[in-house]
Amino acid sequence: MIQDHVRVEPKLFGLPTQEAVEKQLKETYNFKYEKEFGMAIAVIEVLEVGEGILIPGDGAAYYNCKFKLLTWRPELQELVYGTISEITNFGAFIDMGAMRGMIHISQTMNDYVSFSKENSLSGKQSKRALKVGDLCLARIVAISHKGDEPKIGLTMRQPGLGKLEWIKEDQAKKEKEAAKIAKANEKAAAKGADKGGKK
């Protein structure tokens, strides 16, 4: 819950006070970033509106109000889903809904990565490519609070991270290897049982 004095502009004076305050809050807090609470995503509910105050020389009215706000505050080591929104020669930008993060080219995959003519990032050995529109899972590894919005640094060079297709491919490969090992162990156990029975 947040308590704030909201400045309601004169254009909203024809509305009932509660509705005018709610509209103004939605406008004021629409994707506003504050270091202490993060990115405001939506005003959920206006709980209380106090008496209005007029200040000479200012045509607006001020109301002390309490309201619920849905926010997202990025945290170090947090896992985030997003869509690649831009590819550059130094990395990729990922749209996480409320904010954008940046993945340096060296953090996109466990491979030598280069920027291709097709506007994608390509792995030399894996032949994997990262392009605009790809859905990814990344980890937040750096947050800088300089400026209006934080700058978020991401990595996809850890197990279980990357383009969602890569994660599925890696999981299928692991399951196949595990099945192969289990089969080899079964054979070895059966062979051992046969030898034990022949004595």
Average the pLDDT over 117-123 and give the result.
Answer: 88
C-alpha distances (whole Å) from 168 to each of 110, 139, 172 are 16, 17, 6
Q: Is the pLDDT of residue 28 over 90?
A: no
**Per residue in 63-78, pLDDT tens?**
999 999 999 999 999 9
Q: What is the mean pLDDT of the chain?
A: 89
Q: Is the pLDDT of residue 199 over 60?
A: no
Per-residue model confidence (pLDDT) at position 85: 95
Residue, of 118 and 80, whose pLDDT is higher: 80
Q: Is the pLDDT of residue 198 over 70?
A: no
Structure token pair of residue 189: 């156990």
Average the pLDDT over 84-109 and give the result.
Answer: 93
Per-residue model confidence (pLDDT) at position 112: 92
Q: Is the pLDDT of residue 192 over 80?
A: no
Q: Which of 145, 162, 169 is nearest to 79 (CA)?
A: 162
Per-residue model confidence (pLDDT) at position 185: 86
Per-residue model confidence (pLDDT) at position 106: 93
Structure token pair of residue 38: 């993060």
Q: Is the pLDDT of residue 104 over 90?
A: yes
Work out the percent of the chain whose per-residue pLDDT is above 70.
96
Q: Is the pLDDT of residue 195 over 80?
A: no
**Per residue in 128-153, pLDDT tens?**
999 999 999 999 999 998 877 789 99
Question: In the chain, helix, strand, coil percent, each to 5?
Answer: 25, 40, 30
Work out the percent of the chain whose per-residue pLDDT is above 90.
42
Structure token pair of residue 94: 């990922």
Per-residue model confidence (pLDDT) at position 157: 92
C-alpha distances (whole Å) from 27 to each of 10, 40, 97, 127 are 14, 11, 18, 46
C-alpha distances (whole Å) from 23 to each of 18, 28, 44, 45, 98 are 9, 9, 12, 11, 20
Per-residue model confidence (pLDDT) at position 197: 57
Domains of the chain: 2-72 (3.30.1490.120), 79-167 (2.40.50.140)
